[in-house]
Amino acid sequence: MTMESPMNVDLHCHSQVSDGLLAPDELVARAHRNGVDVLALTDHDEVGGLVQAAEAARTLGMRFVPGVEISVTWAGDTVHIVGLRIDPDDARLVEGLRETRSGRERRGREMAEQLAAVGIPGAFEGALAHVGNPQLISRTHFARFLVEQGVCRDVSDVFENYLVEGKPGYVPMRWAALSDAVDWILGAGGVAVIAHPGRYHYTPLQFHALYDEFLQLGGRGIEVVTGSHTPEQYREYAEVAKRYGFLASRGSDFHAPSESRIDLGRLPPLPAHLTPIWGEWF
Ligand code: AMP
Ligand code: MN
Ligand code: MN
Ligand code: MN
Protein backbone atom coordinates (compact mmCIF):
# COMPACT_ATOMS: atom_id res chain seq x y z
CA MET A 1 0.00 0.00 0.00
CA THR A 2 1.34 3.44 -0.94
CA MET A 3 0.17 6.99 -0.29
CA GLU A 4 -0.95 7.20 -3.93
CA SER A 5 -3.13 4.13 -3.79
CA PRO A 6 -5.01 3.86 -0.53
CA MET A 7 -6.82 0.62 0.20
CA ASN A 8 -10.17 0.46 -1.52
CA VAL A 9 -12.52 0.08 1.42
CA ASP A 10 -16.30 -0.10 0.99
CA LEU A 11 -18.12 -0.41 4.30
CA HIS A 12 -21.77 -0.10 3.29
CA CYS A 13 -23.86 -2.15 0.84
CA HIS A 14 -26.98 -4.29 0.59
CA SER A 15 -27.80 -7.79 -0.63
CA GLN A 16 -31.16 -9.40 -1.39
CA VAL A 17 -31.32 -10.36 2.29
CA SER A 18 -32.55 -6.76 2.71
CA ASP A 19 -33.30 -4.44 -0.21
CA GLY A 20 -30.37 -5.11 -2.53
CA LEU A 21 -30.80 -7.06 -5.78
CA LEU A 22 -27.73 -9.32 -5.64
CA ALA A 23 -27.18 -12.41 -3.51
CA PRO A 24 -24.45 -11.94 -0.88
CA ASP A 25 -21.93 -14.00 -2.87
CA GLU A 26 -22.70 -12.10 -6.10
CA LEU A 27 -22.20 -8.83 -4.26
CA VAL A 28 -18.82 -9.96 -2.97
CA ALA A 29 -17.76 -11.12 -6.46
CA ARG A 30 -18.76 -7.77 -7.94
CA ALA A 31 -16.84 -5.88 -5.23
CA HIS A 32 -13.78 -8.02 -5.93
CA ARG A 33 -14.05 -7.33 -9.69
CA ASN A 34 -14.29 -3.62 -8.91
CA GLY A 35 -11.01 -3.73 -6.98
CA VAL A 36 -12.41 -3.54 -3.45
CA ASP A 37 -9.83 -4.65 -0.85
CA VAL A 38 -12.14 -4.58 2.18
CA LEU A 39 -15.92 -5.01 1.98
CA ALA A 40 -18.60 -4.79 4.67
CA LEU A 41 -22.09 -6.14 3.99
CA THR A 42 -24.57 -3.99 5.94
CA ASP A 43 -28.09 -5.23 5.27
CA HIS A 44 -30.95 -3.34 6.91
CA ASP A 45 -31.82 -4.83 10.32
CA GLU A 46 -30.50 -8.25 9.19
CA VAL A 47 -27.36 -10.33 9.50
CA GLY A 48 -28.66 -13.30 7.48
CA GLY A 49 -26.35 -12.71 4.50
CA LEU A 50 -23.08 -12.52 6.40
CA VAL A 51 -22.12 -16.20 6.42
CA GLN A 52 -22.46 -16.54 2.63
CA ALA A 53 -20.68 -13.22 2.02
CA ALA A 54 -17.79 -14.07 4.36
CA GLU A 55 -17.36 -17.45 2.70
CA ALA A 56 -17.34 -15.91 -0.79
CA ALA A 57 -14.80 -13.30 0.32
CA ARG A 58 -12.57 -15.99 1.85
CA THR A 59 -12.59 -17.95 -1.40
CA LEU A 60 -11.57 -14.83 -3.34
CA GLY A 61 -8.96 -13.78 -0.77
CA MET A 62 -10.75 -10.52 -0.09
CA ARG A 63 -11.06 -8.99 3.38
CA PHE A 64 -14.60 -9.01 4.71
CA VAL A 65 -16.19 -7.12 7.59
CA PRO A 66 -19.49 -8.34 9.07
CA GLY A 67 -21.89 -5.42 9.33
CA VAL A 68 -25.49 -4.31 9.70
CA GLU A 69 -27.46 -1.10 9.16
CA ILE A 70 -29.96 -0.54 11.97
CA SER A 71 -33.11 1.55 11.51
CA VAL A 72 -33.43 4.03 14.39
CA THR A 73 -36.02 6.65 15.30
CA TRP A 74 -34.44 9.76 16.79
CA ALA A 75 -36.25 13.07 17.38
CA GLY A 76 -39.20 11.83 15.34
CA ASP A 77 -37.17 10.97 12.25
CA THR A 78 -35.33 7.92 10.90
CA VAL A 79 -31.57 7.66 11.31
CA HIS A 80 -29.51 4.70 10.10
CA ILE A 81 -26.72 3.39 12.32
CA VAL A 82 -24.16 1.08 10.74
CA GLY A 83 -22.50 -1.53 12.94
CA LEU A 84 -19.14 -2.86 11.73
CA ARG A 85 -17.08 -5.85 12.90
CA ILE A 86 -20.08 -7.21 14.78
CA ASP A 87 -20.46 -10.77 15.97
CA PRO A 88 -23.59 -11.77 14.01
CA ASP A 89 -24.38 -14.50 16.53
CA ASP A 90 -24.55 -12.16 19.52
CA ALA A 91 -27.88 -13.00 21.21
CA ARG A 92 -28.88 -9.44 22.15
CA LEU A 93 -28.07 -8.12 18.69
CA VAL A 94 -30.01 -10.92 17.03
CA GLU A 95 -33.04 -10.34 19.27
CA GLY A 96 -32.87 -6.56 18.85
CA LEU A 97 -32.79 -6.89 15.06
CA ARG A 98 -35.67 -9.35 15.09
CA GLU A 99 -37.74 -6.87 17.07
CA THR A 100 -36.73 -4.00 14.80
CA ARG A 101 -37.88 -5.98 11.73
CA SER A 102 -41.12 -7.10 13.31
CA GLY A 103 -43.31 -4.13 12.34
CA ARG A 104 -42.44 -4.27 8.66
CA GLU A 105 -45.17 -6.61 7.45
CA ARG A 106 -47.99 -4.64 9.07
CA ARG A 107 -46.50 -1.42 7.77
CA GLY A 108 -46.36 -2.94 4.29
CA ARG A 109 -50.05 -3.82 4.44
CA GLU A 110 -50.91 -0.26 5.48
CA MET A 111 -48.74 1.13 2.69
CA ALA A 112 -50.63 -1.07 0.23
CA GLU A 113 -54.01 0.12 1.56
CA GLN A 114 -52.98 3.72 0.98
CA LEU A 115 -51.78 2.94 -2.53
CA ALA A 116 -55.02 1.07 -3.29
CA ALA A 117 -56.92 4.19 -2.17
CA VAL A 118 -55.16 6.23 -4.89
CA GLY A 119 -55.90 3.63 -7.57
CA ILE A 120 -52.88 1.31 -7.28
CA PRO A 121 -54.19 -2.10 -6.17
CA GLY A 122 -52.18 -5.21 -5.29
CA ALA A 123 -49.11 -3.41 -3.96
CA PHE A 124 -48.49 -5.72 -1.01
CA GLU A 125 -48.38 -8.87 -3.16
CA GLY A 126 -46.58 -6.91 -5.87
CA ALA A 127 -43.87 -5.73 -3.49
CA LEU A 128 -43.60 -9.20 -1.96
CA ALA A 129 -42.72 -10.59 -5.39
CA HIS A 130 -39.52 -8.51 -5.19
CA VAL A 131 -38.66 -9.49 -1.64
CA GLY A 132 -35.76 -11.88 -1.03
CA ASN A 133 -36.41 -12.17 2.71
CA PRO A 134 -40.06 -12.14 3.87
CA GLN A 135 -38.96 -10.62 7.18
CA LEU A 136 -37.64 -7.61 5.40
CA ILE A 137 -40.28 -5.90 3.30
CA SER A 138 -38.93 -2.42 2.64
CA ARG A 139 -40.02 0.68 0.81
CA THR A 140 -37.50 -0.24 -1.88
CA HIS A 141 -39.56 -3.34 -2.74
CA PHE A 142 -42.69 -1.20 -3.08
CA ALA A 143 -40.68 1.21 -5.21
CA ARG A 144 -39.67 -1.61 -7.57
CA PHE A 145 -43.31 -2.67 -7.85
CA LEU A 146 -44.37 0.90 -8.70
CA VAL A 147 -41.71 1.10 -11.42
CA GLU A 148 -42.72 -2.31 -12.77
CA GLN A 149 -46.35 -1.10 -12.95
CA GLY A 150 -45.29 1.96 -14.91
CA VAL A 151 -46.56 4.25 -12.14
CA CYS A 152 -43.09 5.78 -11.80
CA ARG A 153 -40.12 6.11 -14.14
CA ASP A 154 -37.53 4.81 -11.69
CA VAL A 155 -36.91 4.23 -8.00
CA SER A 156 -35.80 7.83 -7.31
CA ASP A 157 -38.97 9.05 -8.97
CA VAL A 158 -40.95 6.85 -6.55
CA PHE A 159 -39.28 8.46 -3.52
CA GLU A 160 -40.32 11.89 -4.79
CA ASN A 161 -43.98 11.10 -5.30
CA TYR A 162 -44.82 8.11 -3.09
CA LEU A 163 -43.82 6.38 0.17
CA VAL A 164 -42.44 9.57 1.77
CA GLU A 165 -44.05 11.94 4.25
CA GLY A 166 -47.02 13.74 2.76
CA LYS A 167 -47.32 11.32 -0.20
CA PRO A 168 -49.42 8.18 -0.76
CA GLY A 169 -48.00 5.04 0.80
CA TYR A 170 -46.22 6.73 3.70
CA VAL A 171 -46.64 4.98 7.03
CA PRO A 172 -44.66 6.41 9.95
CA MET A 173 -42.60 3.84 11.86
CA ARG A 174 -41.14 3.65 15.34
CA TRP A 175 -37.78 1.95 14.80
CA ALA A 176 -35.18 1.11 17.47
CA ALA A 177 -34.00 3.71 19.99
CA LEU A 178 -30.54 5.15 19.28
CA SER A 179 -29.30 3.96 22.67
CA ASP A 180 -30.48 0.40 21.96
CA ALA A 181 -28.97 0.25 18.47
CA VAL A 182 -25.58 1.47 19.72
CA ASP A 183 -25.79 -0.92 22.70
CA TRP A 184 -26.50 -3.92 20.49
CA ILE A 185 -23.59 -3.06 18.21
CA LEU A 186 -21.12 -2.46 21.05
CA GLY A 187 -22.39 -5.55 22.90
CA ALA A 188 -21.67 -7.59 19.77
CA GLY A 189 -18.09 -6.30 19.77
CA GLY A 190 -18.67 -3.86 16.92
CA VAL A 191 -18.15 -0.20 16.21
CA ALA A 192 -21.12 2.11 15.56
CA VAL A 193 -21.21 4.59 12.67
CA ILE A 194 -23.77 7.26 11.73
CA ALA A 195 -24.79 6.44 8.15
CA HIS A 196 -25.19 9.12 5.43
CA PRO A 197 -25.77 12.13 7.73
CA GLY A 198 -26.44 14.30 4.70
CA ARG A 199 -29.80 12.58 4.26
CA TYR A 200 -31.33 13.68 7.53
CA HIS A 201 -33.55 16.73 7.82
CA TYR A 202 -32.47 17.95 11.24
CA THR A 203 -31.73 21.52 12.32
CA PRO A 204 -28.11 22.37 13.16
CA LEU A 205 -29.02 22.17 16.85
CA GLN A 206 -30.54 18.73 16.40
CA PHE A 207 -27.47 17.51 14.49
CA HIS A 208 -25.31 18.73 17.33
CA ALA A 209 -27.50 16.89 19.85
CA LEU A 210 -27.44 13.72 17.71
CA TYR A 211 -23.62 13.70 17.46
CA ASP A 212 -23.29 14.45 21.15
CA GLU A 213 -25.65 11.72 22.26
CA PHE A 214 -24.16 9.20 19.83
CA LEU A 215 -20.63 9.86 21.13
CA GLN A 216 -21.80 9.65 24.76
CA LEU A 217 -23.38 6.28 24.00
CA GLY A 218 -20.05 5.04 22.69
CA GLY A 219 -20.58 5.60 18.95
CA ARG A 220 -17.33 6.33 17.11
CA GLY A 221 -17.82 6.79 13.39
CA ILE A 222 -19.55 8.84 10.74
CA GLU A 223 -19.89 8.24 7.01
CA VAL A 224 -18.18 11.03 5.13
CA VAL A 225 -17.80 9.60 1.63
CA THR A 226 -21.00 7.74 0.77
CA GLY A 227 -23.12 7.21 -2.33
CA SER A 228 -25.75 9.42 -0.67
CA HIS A 229 -23.49 12.49 -0.44
CA THR A 230 -22.55 15.11 -3.00
CA PRO A 231 -18.85 16.17 -3.18
CA GLU A 232 -19.92 19.30 -1.29
CA GLN A 233 -21.24 17.04 1.47
CA TYR A 234 -17.94 15.07 1.55
CA ARG A 235 -16.35 18.36 2.62
CA GLU A 236 -19.15 19.27 5.01
CA TYR A 237 -19.04 15.96 6.90
CA ALA A 238 -15.25 15.82 6.83
CA GLU A 239 -15.44 19.03 8.87
CA VAL A 240 -18.01 17.45 11.19
CA ALA A 241 -15.77 14.40 11.65
CA LYS A 242 -12.84 16.61 12.61
CA ARG A 243 -14.85 18.89 14.89
CA TYR A 244 -16.43 16.02 16.84
CA GLY A 245 -13.53 13.60 16.71
CA PHE A 246 -15.37 10.96 14.69
CA LEU A 247 -13.57 8.21 12.82
CA ALA A 248 -14.46 8.55 9.15
CA SER A 249 -16.10 5.86 7.04
CA ARG A 250 -16.51 5.29 3.31
CA GLY A 251 -19.33 3.23 1.81
CA SER A 252 -21.13 3.11 -1.50
CA ASP A 253 -24.54 2.07 -0.08
CA PHE A 254 -24.79 -0.01 -3.27
CA HIS A 255 -28.16 -1.74 -3.77
CA ALA A 256 -28.38 -2.79 -7.42
CA PRO A 257 -26.52 -2.38 -10.71
CA SER A 258 -29.62 -0.87 -12.30
CA GLU A 259 -30.49 1.48 -9.45
CA SER A 260 -27.40 2.69 -7.63
CA ARG A 261 -25.61 5.81 -8.80
CA ILE A 262 -22.33 4.60 -7.28
CA ASP A 263 -21.02 1.08 -7.82
CA LEU A 264 -19.13 -0.95 -5.20
CA GLY A 265 -15.69 0.51 -4.51
CA ARG A 266 -16.11 3.40 -6.94
CA LEU A 267 -16.30 6.33 -4.53
CA PRO A 268 -13.46 8.81 -4.16
CA PRO A 269 -11.08 8.11 -1.27
CA LEU A 270 -11.57 9.69 2.15
CA PRO A 271 -10.03 13.14 2.51
CA ALA A 272 -6.45 12.57 3.68
CA HIS A 273 -6.71 14.58 6.90
CA LEU A 274 -9.35 12.27 8.39
CA THR A 275 -8.80 9.19 10.56
CA PRO A 276 -10.29 6.20 8.71
CA ILE A 277 -12.38 3.93 10.85
CA TRP A 278 -10.42 0.94 9.52
CA GLY A 279 -7.08 2.55 10.49
CA GLU A 280 -6.27 0.04 13.20
CA TRP A 281 -8.03 -3.02 11.84
CA PHE A 282 -5.28 -4.55 9.76
P1 AMP B 1 -37.35 1.34 4.71
O2 AMP B 1 -36.26 0.85 5.63
O3 AMP B 1 -38.33 0.29 4.37
O4 AMP B 1 -38.00 2.61 5.20
O5 AMP B 1 -36.66 1.67 3.32
C6 AMP B 1 -35.57 2.55 3.27
C7 AMP B 1 -34.82 2.32 1.97
O8 AMP B 1 -35.49 3.00 0.91
C9 AMP B 1 -33.44 2.93 1.99
O10 AMP B 1 -32.52 2.07 2.58
C11 AMP B 1 -33.16 3.09 0.51
O12 AMP B 1 -32.72 1.85 -0.02
C13 AMP B 1 -34.52 3.40 -0.05
N14 AMP B 1 -34.66 4.85 -0.27
C15 AMP B 1 -35.06 5.78 0.60
N16 AMP B 1 -35.05 7.01 0.02
C17 AMP B 1 -34.63 6.83 -1.26
C18 AMP B 1 -34.42 7.67 -2.40
N19 AMP B 1 -34.64 8.99 -2.32
N20 AMP B 1 -33.97 7.11 -3.53
C21 AMP B 1 -33.74 5.79 -3.62
N22 AMP B 1 -33.92 4.93 -2.61
C23 AMP B 1 -34.36 5.44 -1.43
MN1 MN C 1 -31.86 0.37 1.40
MN1 MN D 1 -29.44 3.92 4.95
MN1 MN E 1 -27.81 1.45 3.30
> In terms of domains, do 37 and 96 share one?
yes
Expressed as residue numbers, the domain containing 143 is 104-161
> In terms of domains, do 58 and 185 share one?
yes
Residue 145 lies inside a defined structural domain of this protein: yes
Residue whose CA is at the smallest distance from ligand 1 atom 9: 140
Residue 257 lies inside a defined structural domain of this protein: no
> In terms of domains, do 93 and 230 share one?
yes
Contacts of 204-213 spanning 24+ positions with Cβ under 8 A: 206/75, 207/240, 209/75, 210/74, 210/75, 210/79, 210/178, 211/240, 211/244, 211/246, 213/178
For ligand 1, is residue 263 a contact (CB within 6 Å)?
no
The ligand 1 atom at the shortest distance from the C-alpha of residue 78 is 4
Per-residue pLDDT of the chain (282 residues; tens, 9 = 90+): 445 578 999 999 999 999 999 999 999 999 999 999 999 999 999 999 999 999 999 999 999 999 999 999 999 999 999 999 999 999 999 999 999 999 999 999 999 999 999 999 999 999 999 999 999 999 999 999 999 999 999 999 999 999 999 999 999 999 999 999 999 999 999 999 999 999 999 999 999 999 999 999 999 999 999 999 999 999 999 999 999 999 999 999 999 999 999 999 999 999 999 999 999 998
For ligand 1, is residue 71 a contact (CB within 6 Å)?
yes
> In terms of domains, do 180 and 95 share one?
yes
Residue 270 lies inside a defined structural domain of this protein: no
Task: Give me ligand 4 centre to Cα 146, in Å.
Answer: 20
Residues 6+ apart with CB under 8 A from 161: 152, 167
For ligand 1, is residue 141 a contact (CB within 6 Å)?
no
Ligand 1 pocket test, candidate residues 19, 82, 109, 154, most atoms within 8 A of CB: 19
Contact between 213 and 256 under an 8 Å Cβ cutoff? The reply is no
For ligand 1, is residue 139 a contact (CB within 6 Å)?
yes
Residue whose CA is at the smallest distance from ligand 1 atom 4: 139
> In terms of domains, do 128 and 35 share one?
no
